[in-house]
Amino acid sequence: MEDKELLKTLCMSHGPSGREHWLGDYVTEVFSEFGQVTRDNLNNIIIHKKGKGKGKIMLMAHLDEVFMIITEVKENGFLAFKGNGIDPKTLVSKEVIIHGKEAIRGIIGIKPPHLMKDEDRKKAVTIDSLLVDTGYSKESLENIVKPGDYVTVKGNYKELLNNNVSVKTVDDRGGVVALYRCAKELKNIEHGMDVYFVCSAQEEVGHRGAKTATNRINPDIGIAVDVTFDCGMYGLEHGDTELGKGGVICIGPNIHPKVRKHLMKVCKEYNIPFQLEVEAGNTGTDAWDIQVAGEGVATLLISIPIKYMHTSVETVNMDDIKNTGYMMAKLIESIKGEELEELVCF
């Protein structure tokens, strides 16, 4: 399967935190050619590809997406909701899917500025000021939707110039495609370590899948694959990561220094483009929980730069996804059994 085809199918599917099983069967089918597939009680999908030596390496990308959840069916048939991980101002006029007894479409609306008082126009958009309009009456809507039902943003896949793609949920299904690309590369590579590909659950609500999967696998090395910001478009002073310049290798206390330096050496040896990003504390990714599982895990974070994170138009460069998968495959190939213990020790 081509990377773009897989990305489109994954990103146009819906699977908010706690409901990853909505696309779990498809992911299981896609990865089944690479090894034994299991799903744990939290709905992590784990693919085990055996090596010919010792040691275990785990590659993890989260499958869940940011979401909203219904709190009330209003008298006029509108729906009130709470959000998770979404900036309210990006939701105005967005088309959404309400996952009730059946999936129905809605539009998120806000009081028009023409009808607002002057002081209200100056206020920031809040979740409380937004409602979902479905066009249903309250009586009809209550037969379909109830408090606790999930809402996700409707996607619209578009291929752009320079091998860029725009669609919802590149965070982090672009990472899942990078795992797939790595697995394809490893089919033609002899490797010593057992490889565990993990499509993790509930990252967006506290990295919960990372905790359970890492404790179960107990890897020697754990790599979280997630997304980061294209800083070039904003002129941000604290970073210079951009689309099309390769996967982003993180540096900081969440990251094992020797394994990170080894990865950079591998990238230079094989002319794999990469970028660097510094995080002084919590990376806000599965890497944070991978590192402290069990007796501690030598951890890396590789991020794919995107634009417009947590919106319906997240934009990514497909070469960055491909090169992220390739750098992980070459890293795995480079680590021989006798070198592993020395590499993961400080």
Q: Which residues are part of a known binding site?
A: 62, 171, 204, 226, 310
> Binding site for Zn(2+): which residues?
62, 171, 204, 226, 310
Q: Rounded to 5 degrees, what are φ and ψ at 342?
A: -65, -35
The DSSP 8-state label assigned to residue 124 in this structure reads P
Burial track 105-140 (b if 16+ CB lie within 10 A, e otherwise)? ebebbbeeeeeeeeeeeeeeeeeeebbbebebeeee
CA separation for the pair 236, 135 (Å, rounded): 42
Query: What type of residue is 37?
Result: V
CA separation for the pair 302, 307 (Å, rounded): 16
Query: What type of residue is 281?
Result: G
> Which of 53, 84, 80 minimizes the C-alpha distance to 67?
84
Which candidate in 203, 277, 279, 314 is catalytic?
A: 203
The alpha carbon torsion through 15, 95, 286, 37 (nearest 10 deg) reads 20
203 counts as catalytic: yes
Is the CB of residue 81 less than 8 Å from the CB of residue 130? yes
Is the CB of residue 254 less than 8 Å from the CB of residue 243? no
Give 200-216 as a 3 state SS string: ECCHHHCCHHHHHHHHH
The residues annotated as belonging to the active site are: 203
